[in-house]
Amino acid sequence: MSEQQLPTGLQLLEIDPEFRADPYPRLAELQEKCPVRHDPVLEAVVLTGYEDVRAVVNDRSLWRNPARGNPRALFNRGAAASGDAPQTILFMDDPDHARVRGPLTQAFYKRAARMKPQVEVIVDEVLDGLSDRPSFDIIADYGVPVPILVIAAVLGIEKSRLREFREWSEGIIQSLNAMRTPAEEAQLAAAATALDAFFAEAMAERRKAPRDDLITDMVQLQAEGAELTDSEVSVNLQSLLVGGNLTTTDLIGNGVLAFLRHPAELAKLRADPRLVAPAVEEILRYDPPISITGRIASRDLEIRGAPVACKDALINSLRAANRDPSVYEDPDRFDITRKHVPHMAFGGGAHICIGAPLARMEGQVALWKLFQRFPTLKLADQALTYRALPGFRGLERLIVET
Ligand code: HEM
């Protein structure tokens, strides 16, 4: 097959309807024929093999800030032109990345580790609201509210502000949507302004009267000498909403779909609660919420003999890596008791997902309790459609019958 016949970057994004419906055959083709692909449309190097993706995302000497990359690369264009230094750890490089991520991780991990009892209460309450319904939407009625209520509890949002907070959390997610409509653009701008004002006020309040929440932890770390501006604290608390809400929604949605399509696996899970942790890992491998993550070459490199120039963008397909047949036996099979090989769904290295422990625990509680509460849950007759959000895989709706 010639280079011209290989799928290009645009056919590897969720804006392409065929790819969106089922990305796996196209990714498998690219992985087999050209695992290190200089993509002429994205102006980036696309990696699809597990070992290459793993090595690149774990390489702490590579860059993440798109403004440092080749400005021709599709994903770097806006950033390179703006010239602004990123404030969110998602796009920062060291030393700023370590300076901001260090205290955030220190505070967030401690809180996440204590959250399970509260997550159980939140999940039970959401399920109570669904108990009498003959059918409901796993996405809108379960997968969306649970992560937002959990992160609200971590941050310490008062009950009286939950409604607004939910609205802003859904609005700020539009920052991930590169193809925003004017209405979505307005929704994003309103949410960003409201969240900036909310966090500025909340930080000032916590300085006067500390509470038991993550906002207090962050202002206390500042007071103890952590070098963080107020704006960095605010932006990175918002990054938890941007990075964590939709992804956890899709972990729940993609997981419920996989189980309802594979009743034998669901029967195994129902019979043995110890399988819930490996089940969530298998969902993250089999159908991960995030498709790709980026890095930028900080020097001239060679990957499998292919030259990569300094500043070239590297697009790592986490989705393709997770189905690499040289690493996973029968990779297209959903198997919650398969031999464990770490998946790439949370990326790796310096930028490895900060929310992974929380997402794993939430996924485990949400799936286990859902299947316990509804022993005869089944898929309604429906045409499934996925969101056209580049880099993400999640259903628009998933109607189930109780
Ligand atoms: C199943 C759910 C989730 C998935 C699949 C996921 C996936 C990812 C991936 C692939 C990255 C990029 C890693 C890299 O480039 O190596 C990332 C980064 C990040 N995630 Fe998650 N995530 C999830 C849940 C969460 C949650 C619950 C939070 C917060 C509460 C969160 C916050 C973040 C943040 C702040 C980053 C940026 C880290 C950095 O650049 O240093 N994520 N996530």
Q: Whose CA is nearest to atom 9 of ligand 1?
A: 346
CA distances from 155 to 151, 214, 362 (A): 6, 5, 16
> Is 80 exceeded by the pLDDT of residue 146?
yes
Which of the residue ranges 186-190, 302-306, 380-384 would you say has the lowest mean pLDDT?
Answer: 186-190
More confident of the two residues 8 and 141? 141
Q: Tell me the CA–centroid distance for residue 352 and ligand 1, in Å.
A: 7
Decide: 389 and 177 in contact? Cβ < 8 Å.
yes
Q: Tell me the CA–centroid distance for residue 165 and ligand 1, in Å.
A: 20
Determine whether 5 is exposed, middle or buried from the number of CB atoms within 10 Å of its CB (0-12, 13-18, 19+).
Answer: exposed
Testing ligand 1's pocket by substitution, the residue of 93, 236, 353 carrying the most ligand atoms inside 8 A of its CB is 353
Residues of the chain above pLDDT 70, percent: 96
What are 36's strand-pairing partners? 47
The backbone region for 340, taken as left when phi is positive above 0, alpha when psi lies in -120 to 50, beta otherwise, is beta
> Is 60 exceeded by the pLDDT of residue 61?
yes
Using pLDDT thresholds of 50, 70 and 90, give the confidence band for residue 79. low
- We find that the CATH architecture of domain 3-401 is Orthogonal Bundle (1.10)
Residues near ligand 1 with C-beta < 6 Å?
57, 89-90, 101, 151, 239-240, 243-244, 247-248, 251, 288-290, 293, 318, 345-349, 351-355, 358-359
Q: Where along the chain do its domains lie?
A: 3-401
Using pLDDT thresholds of 50, 70 and 90, give the confidence band for residue 85. low
CA distances from 370 to 53, 266, 375 (A): 34, 12, 9
For the stretch 274-310, pLDDT in tens is: 999 999 999 999 999 999 999 999 999 999 999 999 9
For the stretch 339-354, pLDDT in tens is: 999 999 999 999 999 9
Using pLDDT thresholds of 50, 70 and 90, give the confidence band for residue 163. confident
Question: Which atom from ligand 1 is nearest to the alpha carbon of 360?
Answer: 1
pLDDT of residue 1: 44
Region 168-178 average pLDDT: 80
Q: Tell me the CA–centroid distance for residue 130 and ligand 1, in Å.
A: 29
Report the sign of the C-alpha dihedral through residues 30, 34, 38, 40, in that order: negative
d(CA 256, CA 143): 10
The whole-chain average pLDDT of the chain stands at 93
Region 45-66 average pLDDT: 96
> Is 80 exceeded by the pLDDT of residue 84?
no
d(CA 268, CA 275): 8
d(CA 187, CA 180): 10
Question: Angle CA(252)–CA(286)–CA(122) in degrees, nearest 5?
Answer: 15
- Residue 327 DSSP one-character state: T
pTM for this entry? 0.95
